[in-house]
């Protein structure tokens, strides 16, 4: 959902030991996942001092995919909440592909900061094969979605030409 940054900041503040301990735990988890080129400095992902690689992000997607709630929450197309004052808050998933029935998406996360550009990581099934897609620094607002669609089309074409077995 767009955007979880406030929730991530709240989780970091509420973590035993506060934000500093939360970020340390994030960095420890990165080490445990063999994400050797990743470093976190904040819990939201909004700092340009957070760094990673496409390979490390694929490792993170594979690890996150093991958690059913992460899969569910990152692929839900929209969610509405009615506040105690009766006001309706609506959240919409920033990855429009989760609303596209031709996609089988198991996990999804978009991101944007000016230094990194528009990014998308997701786990999907394409041509009956599990795949992790990591797109970094996409040029335009919808470029990452177009790139993902082109990857899907290419993979479907590639696997349809291969003999079964």
Domain range list for the chain: 1-52, 62-165
Residues 6+ apart with CB under 8 A from 82: 88, 89
The helix/strand count (H/E) of the chain reads as 5, 5
- Split at pLDDT 50, 70, 90, the class of 161 is confident
In whole angstroms, give the CA distance from residue 165 to residue 161: 12
Averaged pLDDT for residues 79-106? 94
Averaged pLDDT for residues 122-140? 95
In whole angstroms, give the CA distance from residue 123 to residue 67: 13
Q: Tokens 């079964």 map to which residue?
A: 164
Residue 121 phi, psi dihedral angles, 5° rounding: -125, 140
| Arch. (CATH architecture) of 62-165 | 3-Layer(aba) Sandwich (3.40)
pTM as predicted: 0.89
- Split at pLDDT 50, 70, 90, the class of 92 is very high
**108, 98 Cβ separation under 8 angstroms:** yes
Could you tell me whether strands 117-126 and 105-113 are parallel, antiparallel, or unpaired per DSSP bridges? Answer: antiparallel
The pair of three-digit structure tokens given for residue 43, joined into one six-digit string: 């819990």
């Amino acid at each position: 959902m767009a955007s979880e940054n406030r929730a991530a900041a709240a989780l970091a503040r509420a973590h035993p030991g506060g934000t500093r301990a939360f970020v340390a735990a994030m960095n420890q988890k990165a080490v445990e996942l063999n994400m050797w080129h990743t470093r976190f400095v904040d819990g939201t992902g909004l700092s340009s001092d957070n760094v990673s690689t496409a390979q490390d992000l694929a490792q993170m997607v594979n690890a996150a995919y093991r958690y059913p709630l992460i899969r569910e929450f990152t692929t839900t197309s929209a969610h509405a909440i009615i506040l105690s004052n009766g006001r309706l808050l609506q959240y919409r998933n920033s990855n429009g592909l989760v609303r596209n029935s031709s996609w089988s998406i198991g996990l999804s996360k978009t991101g944007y900061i000016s230094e990194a550009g528009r990014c998308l990581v997701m786990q999907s099934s394409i041509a009956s094969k599990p795949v992790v897609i990591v797109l970094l620094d996409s040029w335009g607002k919808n470029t990452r979605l177009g790139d993902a669609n082109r990857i899907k089309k290419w993979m479907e074409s590639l696997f349809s030409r291969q003999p079964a077995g």
